Structure 1
Amino acid sequence: MEITAVESVVRGDAHFVQLRTSDGLVGVGQSACWGYPTAVHAVVEAFRPHLLGADPNRIEHHWHHLYRMGPFRGSVLTAAVSAVDIALWDLLGKRLGVPVWQLLGGRVRDRIRLHLLLPGTGAEALAAQAAAAVADGFTAVKFDPLPADYGDLSLHRLVTATEATTAAVRETVGPDVDLLVELHRKLTPLQAEAVVPALARHLPLLVEDPVQIDSISSQATVARRALGVPMANGERLHTIWEFKELLAQGGAQYVRPDLGLAGGISHARKIAALAEAYHAAVVSHNCLGPLLTMASVHLDAAIPNFVTQEYSPLDDQLADGPARACVRRQGGWLPVPEEPGLGVTLDLADDTPLDLTGRPLTRIPLRADGSVAYAV
């Protein structure tokens, strides 16, 4: 048995991989470096000579071979490794006739709790979307409360506006719904030290990524100084070594690996185990549609320190799109899939570009003086 074809396909800001084997199986994967999908595609093309003719069952061996083929690192490389790794796990599950979570040690839960990403801005819109999500069965929602002109406000205005929007959502959903507050790396460390404590009285489950990812030690410092507000970091980190540095420096209480960026299923389960050793929980990042959602769900089902799975409205919109999952959302939950492999069917016959992020890469926020503000 061997890999007979490596197919790497870019559809707009989406990048998919299909691996075909000599026994007629097809494994599917997806990367999450959405800013540079053609670069990830080029890396997968460089992987092809190693993968063709190789035994697809040697997942851990292939991970290290691909990651260490050249002396270069970064999100483009790990995204390419991620897509291949996810496809290899899909193949193994299909070959053995079991879901991927069974290969990870079996399930530890019967269903997967979801938190819905709210796309709105401003207190009124976010409160309305949160109310609709709760009515639909969600027990947790995630939103960005920072005002649109965050880059130009005085510190006082920045803090009070952010706190007021968070208060509006909390007042709308009440005490039985968890709030996940996403700050999208828009603040400086000094701003974050004023903004984050102001949200404490609303008891968010977590506050995520207040500062840019340039420095792991800066992220850890902000987390240590958060005055009792649980912090979440990691959606732009790539490896267990980066997560280890963050956790060792007193960083996140919640780690946020993206399975399409942080080394796929193989590496994300190591990140989850590392977090468990620090009594940290896993809330994996996920916003690019059903395939990566399903890959995440298999990990969620098999680890003890999972809390809630990020779920985008895109998952519902693309339910009958190119990547079709074997399970559908039931209110604020997903059933644990029982189909072999990931339980995802990938149809790339339609070459219409996908728009998973809704953001042209060159469209970034500018301050009133024309300088570049911190971008999402």
Structure 2
Amino acid sequence: MPKITNVRTIRLPKRPKLIWVEIETDDGLTGLGETFRGAQAVEAVLHELVAPAILGRSAEHVTAITHELMGSYVGFNSSSAEVRAASAVDIALWDLAGKRAGVPVHVAIGGAMRDRIPVYNTCAGYEFNTSLGARRSIDSKEKSAGPYDDQLAFMRDAGALAESLLAEGYRAMKIWPFDDFAMTSPDHISLVDLNTGLEPFRKVRKAVGDRIEIMCELHSLWSSRAAARICDALAEFNVLWVEDPIKKMDNFSAVADLRRQTRAPICGGENLAGVKSFRDILAADALDVVMLDLTWCGGLSEARKIAALAEAHAKPLAPHDCTGPVALMAGLHLSLHAPTAIFQEVVRASLASWYPEIVDRLPVIREGIALAPTDPGLGTALLPEVRETEGAVVRESRASR
């Protein structure tokens, strides 16, 4: 059996929220994982807790390793540093399993329901979710950073942005014009601010009608009553979903109460970890659409269970990714596998700019449709020069000989 011989982590100064994990085995293969937020804390967990637990063990025992890491005493049931570390390791182990079997990950985890899936564009900018600091607030004098500076575009002319997306084959877009108002008044949104936040939705519908789906992201910023007011108003524009509408998405009864109050479909789950959290939120009848992030929920092993729960509750599934290229590839494999998956999230600004600087292959997207990867494993690997980047922090834990 192939034994794990090395756990390597890589952090880059330009992408301080991200950390990549490479797991090497004694048969010469390398598996790749990734996670996001608190990268230095995750690095410490990986080398101080995870590496001693997995070095020398068989890489084929993915279920046993992930079950042990996800069931640890500290950090379980939330997207803690421990769970994010476990998620990255699990993804890397499935990458190894696919490579060893000579099949893509979506085959290794049980086979595909489909050979392609629609993508939607999260309308972010080029540096979204990669640098440290506060949320981006669009200044009236701010200049566009490029043709895909889509956050600025949806605040300035969402109709023109929708036309641009349709021209590239995208049939769905996600925007968040209410965030700035929550920074000053998260418990109440005035009618004036509500009307301002609705303006991008009006412009989209005026420009392209119903030819594009619109999702609204609320980033868990609002109290229940304020969120209900926003959701009620958004229903007029036939939004596909309103995502993470309230501050505490782990308050499942509050999310369920909001869902009962509004006609707008509610999406959530990217901040939850472990199958039990999803069991409880679905049992509360709180969601219309299930979202999960493979780098936060426990990796592909937990994601398969969550996808099965979504199917059992007849709920559509939409894997999250506006973080990094490995999360995107892992999410795509799950989207191809999961029976109720309807979309894979992408950020075209990231695909067109910094993702190609990190990995050697990215999803093939044609006319708004992502095609199934055909290479063994995840179908992507870190470019060799990533480790040589100036300021890169590379740390290794090796098995003793």
Question: Is TM (by shorter chain) over 0.5?
Answer: yes
Provide the C-alpha distance between the structure 1 equivalents of 2:90 and 2:189, rounded to a whole number of angstroms: 46
Shift in CA distance, 72/154, structure 1 to aligned 2, threshold 3 Å: closer
Q: Which residue of 1 aligns with 2:162?
A: 130
Classify the secondary structure of the residue corresponding to 1:30.
strand
- Residues 1-44 of structure 1 show CA distances to partners (whole Å, capped at 9, x for unaligned) of 20111112222221010000010000000013x2x111111111
Relative contact order (C-alpha < 8 Å, sep 6+): which is higher? 2
Asked whether the equivalents of residues 289 and 318 of structure 1 are also in contact (C-alpha less than 8 Å), the reply is: no
Q: Which moved more, 1:145-154 or 1:85-94?
A: 145-154
Q: Which residue of 1 aligns with 2:254?
A: 218
Shift in CA distance, 112/350, structure 1 to aligned 2, threshold 3 Å: farther
Provide the C-alpha distance between the structure 1 equivalents of 2:59 and 2:45, rounded to a whole number of angstroms: 19
1:52 aligns with 2:90: no
- Residues 264-321 of structure 1 show CA distances to partners (whole Å, capped at 9, x for unaligned) of 1111111111111111111111111221111001111111101111101212313421
- Residues 29-84 of structure 1 show CA distances to partners (whole Å, capped at 9, x for unaligned) of 0013x2x1111111111111111110001111001111233344332111101000
Provide the C-alpha distance between the structure 1 equivalents of 2:109 and 2:69, rounded to a whole number of angstroms: 22
Shift in CA distance, 104/250, structure 1 to aligned 2, threshold 3 Å: same
Q: Which residue of 2 aligns with 1:162?
A: 197
Shift of 1:220: 2.4
Classify the secondary structure of the residue corresponding to 1:236.
coil
1:109 aligns with 2:144: no
Asked whether the equivalents of residues 157 and 200 of structure 2 are also in contact (C-alpha less than 8 Å), the reply is: no
- Residues 224-260 of structure 1 show CA distances to partners (whole Å, capped at 9, x for unaligned) of 222x211101111111111111111111111111011
Asked whether the equivalents of residues 126 and 143 of structure 1 are also in contact (C-alpha less than 8 Å), the reply is: no
Provide the C-alpha distance between the structure 2 equivalents of 1:5 and 1:66, rounded to a whole number of angstroms: 17
Provide the C-alpha distance between the structure 1 equivalents of 2:70 and 2:252, rounded to a whole number of angstroms: 21
Percent of matched pairs sharing the same residue: 32
How many residues are paired up? Answer: 351
Shift in CA distance, 147/50, structure 1 to aligned 2, threshold 3 Å: closer
Shift of 1:326: 5.0
Provide the C-alpha distance between the structure 2 equivalents of 1:232 and 1:252, rounded to a whole number of angstroms: 6
Provide the C-alpha distance between the structure 1 equivalents of 2:120 and 2:369, rounded to a whole number of angstroms: 9
In the alignment, residue 353 of structure 2 is paired with which amino acid? Q
Provide the C-alpha distance between the structure 1 equivalents of 2:198 and 2:342, rounded to a whole number of angstroms: 25
Provide the C-alpha distance between the structure 2 equivalents of 1:173 and 1:267, rounded to a whole number of angstroms: 39
1:3 aligns with 2:4: yes
Classify the secondary structure of the residue corresponding to 1:341.
coil
Q: Where in structure 1 are there 5+ consecutive unaligned residues?
A: 355-376
In the alignment, residue 220 of structure 1 is paired with which amino acid? A
Q: Which moved more, 1:70-79 or 1:329-338?
A: 70-79
1:63 aligns with 2:99: no
Provide the C-alpha distance between the structure 2 equivalents of 1:218 and 1:116, rounded to a whole number of angstroms: 29
Classify the secondary structure of the residue corresponding to 2:294.
coil
Asked whether the equivalents of residues 220 and 251 of structure 1 are also in contact (C-alpha less than 8 Å), the reply is: yes
Q: Which moved more, 1:146-155 or 1:102-111?
A: 146-155
Q: State how 1:192-341 maps to structure 2 within 5 Å.
A: 192-213=227-248, 215-226=251-262, 228-312=263-347, 313-341=349-377
Provide the C-alpha distance between the structure 2 equivalents of 1:211 and 1:326, rounded to a whole number of angstroms: 33
Asked whether the equivalents of residues 319 and 325 of structure 1 are also in contact (C-alpha less than 8 Å), the reply is: no
Classify the secondary structure of the residue corresponding to 1:20.
strand
Provide the C-alpha distance between the structure 1 equivalents of 2:214 and 2:190, rounded to a whole number of angstroms: 23
Q: State how 1:80-99 maps to structure 2 within 5 Å.
A: 80-99=85-104
Q: Which residue of 2 aligns with 1:357?
A: none
In the alignment, residue 8 of structure 2 is paired with which amino acid? E
Provide the C-alpha distance between the structure 2 equivalents of 1:193 and 1:85, rounded to a whole number of angstroms: 37
TM-score by length of 2: 0.83
Note the aligned Cα RMSD (angstroms): 1.8
Q: Which moved more, 1:286-295 or 1:171-180?
A: 171-180
Provide the C-alpha distance between the structure 2 equivalents of 1:250 and 1:205, rounded to a whole number of angstroms: 18
TM-score by length of 1: 0.88
Asked whether the equivalents of residues 17 and 28 of structure 1 are also in contact (C-alpha less than 8 Å), the reply is: yes
Shift of 1:185: 1.5
Provide the C-alpha distance between the structure 2 equivalents of 1:353 and 1:345, rounded to a whole number of angstroms: 20
Provide the C-alpha distance between the structure 2 equivalents of 1:172 and 1:63, rounded to a whole number of angstroms: 48
- Residues 134-159 of structure 1 show CA distances to partners (whole Å, capped at 9, x for unaligned) of 11110111111216344347521232
Q: Where in structure 2 are there 5+ consecutive unaligned residues?
A: 125-150, 393-401
